[in-house]
């Protein structure tokens, strides 16, 4: 038995993948699957702002792929949006400021459909939440989990599109977020009564530290596979 720490990588089936967009770009990614069981759900992760250092290997997304296939029978797809580089490689194209990235999301969903991986949950972090909010409401997904949503490119009108969509939307708001702390977040999300707002005491926008990581992953599992909540601290 090992204690789970920030650097722990648990067993999973990992596959480098290429996503093909409708405008003929190739996006690099990685799919992590449970070793033995068919996944009960799949996370389609959307990384933070690439012009400010965000990519598919940003720590929360990497740790989700390192832990959740083994601990919760959840598959994790990570990929670099257009023009984004990370240790896993560089995706073709250039940054589209959250507009042309809609095609990247669609390519990732098409890939998961081709692998028969469902239900799909979007997990967006910062810039990734903007893509989830703007483009996820009419897609074949179970819901969206939003980490540190800034609500800059996405706005109240985009949130209102989710009304009656039959999809869950859960926002994790750090107490000390630099862009949208809990009280303003509750006000802005009020246009979508179905949204669940979870304020996380002591946390910051980047979710630094193992306690913040564990809280995020626990909340993801509570939504996606509640039978595995809370996650263990050893394996």
Residue 85: in which H helix or E strand, if any? Answer: strand 85-86
**150-159 per-position pLDDT tens digit:** 999 999 999 9
Residue 200: CB partners within 8 Å, gap ≥ 6?
A: 172, 173, 174, 175, 212, 215
Other CB atoms within 10 Å distance of the CB of residue 67: 25
For domain 13-228, the question of CATH label 3.40.50.150 is answered with no
DSSP-derived 3-state class of residue 173: strand
Span 111-137, pLDDT tens digits: 999 999 999 999 999 999 999 999 999
Residue 31, C-beta contacts closer than 8 angstroms, at least 6 positions apart:
14, 15, 17, 75, 76, 77, 115
pTM of the entire predicted model: 0.98
Residue 228 near residue 221, CB atoms below 8 Å: yes
Kindly report the number of other CB atoms within 10 A of residue 141's CB atom. 22
- Contact call for residues 42 and 118 (beta carbons, < 8 A): yes
Q: Tens digit of pLDDT per residue, the chain (235 long)?
A: 899 999 999 999 999 999 999 999 999 999 999 999 999 999 999 999 999 999 999 999 999 999 999 999 999 999 999 999 999 999 999 999 999 999 999 999 999 999 999 999 999 999 999 999 999 999 999 999 999 999 999 999 999 999 999 999 999 999 999 999 999 999 999 999 999 999 999 999 999 999 999 999 999 999 999 999 999 999 9
Picking from 114, 87, 110, 74, the residue whose alpha carbon sits closest to that of residue 231 is 74
Cβ neighbors of 159 (< 8 A, separation 6 or more) are 133, 188, 189, 191, 192, 195
What would the two tokens of residue 60 be? 């929360």
DSSP 3: B
Do residues 59 and 87 lie in contact, with contact meaning Cβ atoms separated by under 8 Å?
no
Contacts of 174 (CB under 8 A, 6+ apart): 148, 181, 200, 203, 204, 205, 207, 212
């Amino acid at each position: 038995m090992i204690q789970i720490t920030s650097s722990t990588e648990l067993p999973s089936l990992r596959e480098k993948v290429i996503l093909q967009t409708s405008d003929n770009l190739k996006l690099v990614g990685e799919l992590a699957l449970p070793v033995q069981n068919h996944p009960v759900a799949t996370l389609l992760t959307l990384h933070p702002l690439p012009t400010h250092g965000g990519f598919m290997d940003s720590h929360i997304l990497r740790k989700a792929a390192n832990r959740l296939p083994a601990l919760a029978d959840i598959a994790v797809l990570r990929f670099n949006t257009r023009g984004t580089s990370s240790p896993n490689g560089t995706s073709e194209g250039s940054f589209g400021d959250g507009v042309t990235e809609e095609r990247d999301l669609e390519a990732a969903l098409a890939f998961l459909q081709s692998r028969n991986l469902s239900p799909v949950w979007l997990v967006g972090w910062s810039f990734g939440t903007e893509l989830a909010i703007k483009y996820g409401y009419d897609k074949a997904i179970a819901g969206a989990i939003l980490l540190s949503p800034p609500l800059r490119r996405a706005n109240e009108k985009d949130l209102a599109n989710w009304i009656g969509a039959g999809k869950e939307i859960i926002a994790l708001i750090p107490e000390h977020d630099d862009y949208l702390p809990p009280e303003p977040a509750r006000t802005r999300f009020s246009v979508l009564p179905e949204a669940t707002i979870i304020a996380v005491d002591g946390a910051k926008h980047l979710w630094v530290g193992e306690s913040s990581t564990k809280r995020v992953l626990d909340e993801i599992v509570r939504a996606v596979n509640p039978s595995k909540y809370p996650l263990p601290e050893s394996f």
